[in-house]
Amino acid sequence: MSSHSDVPGELHQDDEIGREQEYVSVLYDRLDGLREQAARRLAEELRATGGTRQAQSQRDSTVGMYAEQVERYGAVENGLCFGRLDGDDGSRRYIGRIGIFDTSGDYDPLLMDWRAPAARAFYLATAANPQGVRRRRHLRTRERKVTGLNDEVLDIAAASPTAHEELTGEASLLAALNAGRTGRMRDIVETIQAEQDRIIRAELPGVMVVQGGPGTGKTAVALHRAAYLLYTHREQLSTRGVLLVGPNATFLRYISQVLPALAETGVLLRTQADLFPGVSARRTEPAVAAALKGRAVMTEVLANAVRDRQWVPDEPLEIELPQHEILTLEPEVVRQARDRARRSQRPHNLARAIFDIEVVHALAAQVAERIGADPLGGENLLSEADVAEIRRELREDPEVRATLDELWPVLTPQRLLADLYADRERIATAAPMLDDAQRALLHREPGGWTPADVPLLDEAAELLGEDERAAVARQERLRAMEREYAEGVLEIWRGSRSIDVEDEAEGGEILGVTDLIDADRLSERQEDAERLTTAQRAAADRRWAFGHVIVDEAQELSPMAWRLLMRRCPSRSMTIVGDVAQTGALSGTPSWAEALAPYVADRWRLEELTVSYRTPAEIMAVAAEVLTEIDPTLRPPRSVRASGVPPWDRTVAADRLTDELVAAATREAAGLADGRLGVIVPADRVDELGKVVVGALPEAAVGEQPELANRVVLLTTEQAKGLEFDSVLVVEPERIVAESPRGHSDLYVALTRATQRLGILRTL
């Protein structure tokens, strides 16, 4: 066991803080130096013009590099250095968010990146297995000031009987867990626990599933793993990129600051709704419709829908050519052309060329027969070249083209799906395996997409293949992103401007970069997309193959969504985190083995997290009862701490609910120091109760994407997924359960969102 203490004796502690302050100040000076250097180089590169195309292109990638550096050095400002390891051999290593070296001397590390192998002991060393560490010190800083420190001496003899052997840096950990929430997730780099560290640093290849109960740090681990992988496999992953998929936009905003604070900005964060480039799926639909669309049977429905667009008429079609000549296209000819095109196994849009050739051949033969027939009954008088010319003319003839388009239309995924949904007959043809009620769920008028449509669009894109129009659309998306990127670079440059102002003061007139170049010109400087970041290029390209994919709340993914993600990650290098007990989506997964079997059979490894850092023991005990309802064999995670505050549970008359809710919310909000209150309500009462709570507490956030930074947030269980608050009020739990076949899982999620206090309000 380790002994933990604030350094004994106040005077001694002050001295130590003073000494650490000196060191930390040196680190910040170095950070300033690095940032200035990068900003100056960025400005120089932005100002440079001319040269060969190659030189320009080289410069553009240098611009990207310096812009990223400026951003990185700015991002690690808070908590730059947070730890120190003293070795048995007298060595001393400082641990922080990035590595900083002493460039004046022997290039010694002044600060070691937390991800470096030598920093690992900071997270793993224990008194029983000290790994050569004598003392672990956690440094607390506010802005650039050292405000406190906390030592653990890894010495069994000096062990404190109250310390938990399995926790590293217990005092710092508990301080982090008990701190008020802010509405944005914080990184845990200072207090990563051993079981988490193992997962964060696991090897890159293969599919790893991280299963863990509520609050076990799955999201935190997933984000730190992304940062670790980018550091350790920078070369490989900076070209292929890392994708992180989360359950909804509110959640992505909640976690959005973690990676930048770890100096990593290159991870693409997306919800399912935004995984099809060019589509932003914001439409809503009933859960049962989404569930149906998530089922694997939809692959068949879509394949049928595509085949249905390869039409063979019942009657001969007449095609009128310019000189009023009329050609007849027999159904049999179309059928043969269709079969041949299908046999090619090409996607629909690409097989169209084969279909065209067959049909035009048949039509040309008809024309040739008419104009080249030998009146004396001999061989046709036209040469091969004449017939070829006829075919060329026919191919360009608008009537012929219109007929071909009708018989085998080139389709975008959006067109295919919109046409299918809008037409009951098409649905009936494509979905004979569904019953009437299910087919009715698919029927709807055009006008936007739902998140469950996104995997179907992706599936359709595979079946249709990319034609020219899709390629053009992709180019357009890239151009739009180029412009955004250029604006971003200028923004970063502006942010670092103070440094240039100093330059100016030193003499030598320096024109501002924006005087010389604007975002338009910067984005035009290069025609292709080389200068965009990997994440940006990946976002615009449906067929991008990511180097690693991380999925959070992965239990919510439907079989169709898994198909989409697996396409994005052909290397199957994936980290999948979730909790099957929290599955709320009707098409979500109750079993990892089932979800993954179609893609990797049993070639995936399972890691489990067993300690809940969020939920105190008193609250976990209440949630445990609901967990038993989900599956009596499941056990909740062990809480790392007790809050000392028992949850309250009150039943009121239905007509008193709103008054009681307002009273409880007001009371709880008043009791918060600087934390947040979450009010979780049944989905069908969210609008009504939202108005009531906002009426009484105008600071309360409600709506589709409520602002989590507000002190009070009212939301549904679905919205609350992955989030946390200091205090939580769960309203009408029975109703939450009754709202969905997965209602107990929803309630389990709702009950486990609090870090300190829980209140339950029921109605009679």
Binding site members for ATP: 212-219
In angstroms, what is the minimal distance from the CB of 567 to ligand ATP?
A: 26
Taking CB under 6 A as the rule, does residue 200 contact ligand ATP? no
In angstroms, what is the minimal distance from the CB of 640 to ligand ATP?
A: 9
Chain centre to alpha carbon of residue 351: 34
Pick the piece of the chain touching ligand ATP (CB under 6 A) from 11-19, 215-223, 283-291, 422-430: 215-223
List the one residue out of 122, 271, 134 whose CA is nearest residue 200: 122
Torsion angle of C-alpha atoms 120, 126, 127, 128, degrees rounded to 10 = -110
Q: What angle do CA 122, 125, 131 make, to 5 degrees?
A: 110
Residue 559 or 578 with smaller CB distance to ligand ATP: 578
Residue 31 or 242 with smaller CB distance to ligand ATP: 242
Among 95, 173, 382, 513, binds ligand ATP (CB under 6 A): 173
Sequential DSSP letters for 657-698: HHHHHHHHHHHHHHH-SS--EEEE--GGGHHHHHHHHHHH-T
Taking CB under 6 A as the rule, does residue 366 contact ligand ATP? no
In angstroms, what is the minimal distance from the CB of 317 to ligand ATP?
A: 59
Pick the piece of the chain touching ligand ATP (CB under 6 A) from 104-112, 209-217, 272-280, 327-335: 209-217
Q: Which residues are annotated as a binding site?
A: 212-219
Site pattern 383..402 for ligand ATP (x: CB under 6 A): --------------------
Report how far residue 301's alpha carbon sits from residue 142's, in angstroms, rounded to the nearest whole number.
Answer: 58
Are β-strands 3-5 and 145-153 bridged in parallel, bridged antiparallel, or unpaired? antiparallel
A 10 A CB-CB count for 232 gives 15
CB 42, CB 65: distance < 8 Å: no
First-last CA distance in the chain: 51
Residues near ligand ATP (CB under 6 A), total = 24
In angstroms, what is the minimal distance from the CB of 719 to ligand ATP?
A: 13
Among 126, 150, 219, 589, binds ligand ATP (CB under 6 A): 219
Pick the piece of the chain touching ligand ATP (CB under 6 A) from 104-112, 208-216, 386-394, 728-736: 208-216
Residue 66 or 613 with smaller CB distance to ligand ATP: 613
Binding to ligand ATP, residues 469-508 (CB under 6 A): none
Residue 623 or 693 with smaller CB distance to ligand ATP: 623
User: How far, in Å, are 36, 205, 595, 599, 734 from residue 602 at the CA level?
Assistant: 51, 15, 11, 9, 38
User: How far, in Å, are 145, 279, 552, 588, 690 from residue 249 at the CA level?
Assistant: 35, 15, 13, 18, 19
Percentage helix, strand, coil for the chain under 3-state DSSP, each rounded to 5: 50, 15, 35
Among 116, 176, 418, 696, binds ligand ATP (CB under 6 A): 176
Taking CB under 6 A as the rule, does residue 177 contact ligand ATP? yes
At 527 the three-state DSSP class reads coil
Site pattern 682..721 for ligand ATP (x: CB under 6 A): ----------------------------------------
Residue 157 or 673 with smaller CB distance to ligand ATP: 673
Cβ within 8 Å of residue 54, ≥6 positions away: none
In angstroms, what is the minimal distance from the CB of 618 to ligand ATP?
A: 16
Among 126, 150, 211, 216, binds ligand ATP (CB under 6 A): 216
Taking CB under 6 A as the rule, does residue 194 contact ligand ATP? no
Among 83, 130, 214, 647, binds ligand ATP (CB under 6 A): 214
Residue 34 or 220 with smaller CB distance to ligand ATP: 220
In angstroms, what is the minimal distance from the CB of 557 to ligand ATP?
A: 15
Tally the residues of the chain: 764
Residue 310 or 756 with smaller CB distance to ligand ATP: 756
Q: What angle do CA 357, 358, 361 make, to 5 degrees?
A: 80
In angstroms, what is the minimal distance from the CB of 721 to ligand ATP?
A: 7
Binding to ligand ATP, residues 577-636 (CB under 6 A): 579, 582, 613-614
CB 270, CB 746: distance < 8 Å: no
Report how far residue 251's alpha carbon sits from residue 552's, in angstroms, rounded to the nearest whole number.
Answer: 10
H helix intervals, 525-656: 534-540, 559-568, 592-600, 617-630
Q: Is 470 left (phi over 0), alpha (psi -120 to 50) or beta?
A: alpha
Pick the piece of the chain touching ligand ATP (CB under 6 A) from 68-76, 191-199, 300-308, 372-380: 191-199
H helix intervals, 373-412: 384-396, 398-407
Residue 185 or 430 with smaller CB distance to ligand ATP: 185
Pick the piece of the chain touching ligand ATP (CB under 6 A) from 32-40, 184-192, 233-241, 398-406: 184-192
Pick the piece of the chain touching ligand ATP (CB under 6 A) from 4-12, 124-132, 185-193, 459-467: 185-193
Are β-strands 81-87 and 133-142 bridged in parallel, bridged antiparallel, or unpaired? antiparallel
Taking CB under 6 A as the rule, does residue 192 contact ligand ATP? yes
- The DSSP element (H or E) to which 232 belongs, if any, is helix 218-232
Site pattern 740..759 for ligand ATP (x: CB under 6 A): ------------x-------
Binding to ligand ATP, residues 718-737 (CB under 6 A): 722, 724
If you compute the radius of gyration of the chain from its CA atoms, what whole number of angstroms results?
Answer: 32
At 649 the three-state DSSP class reads strand
In angstroms, what is the minimal distance from the CB of 724 to ligand ATP?
A: 6
Residue 215 or 413 with smaller CB distance to ligand ATP: 215
Sequential DSSP letters for 103-151: TTTT--EEEEETTSGGGTHHHH--SSS-TTEEEEEEEEEETTEEEEEEE
Taking CB under 6 A as the rule, does residue 215 contact ligand ATP? yes
In angstroms, what is the minimal distance from the CB of 656 to ligand ATP?
A: 31
Residue 113 or 462 with smaller CB distance to ligand ATP: 113
Contacts 24+ apart (CB under 8 A), 384-393: 390/364, 391/360, 391/361, 391/364
Site pattern 520..559 for ligand ATP (x: CB under 6 A): ----------------------------------------
Report how far residue 178's alpha carbon sits from residue 726's, in angstroms, rounded to the nearest whole number.
Answer: 9
User: How far, in Å, are 125, 134, 168, 221, 640 from residue 153 at the CA level?
Assistant: 10, 6, 11, 26, 22
Taking CB under 6 A as the rule, does residue 188 contact ligand ATP? yes
Among 193, 523, 583, 727, binds ligand ATP (CB under 6 A): 193
Residue 319 or 580 with smaller CB distance to ligand ATP: 580
Report how far residue 122's alpha carbon sits from residue 110's, in angstroms, rounded to the nearest whole number.
Answer: 16
Report how far residue 84's alpha carbon sits from residue 472's, in angstroms, rounded to the nearest whole number.
Answer: 54
Residue 192 or 416 with smaller CB distance to ligand ATP: 192
Name the residues that contact ligand ATP, by CB under 6 A.
Answer: 173, 176-177, 186, 188, 191-193, 196, 212, 214-220, 579, 582, 613-614, 722, 724, 752
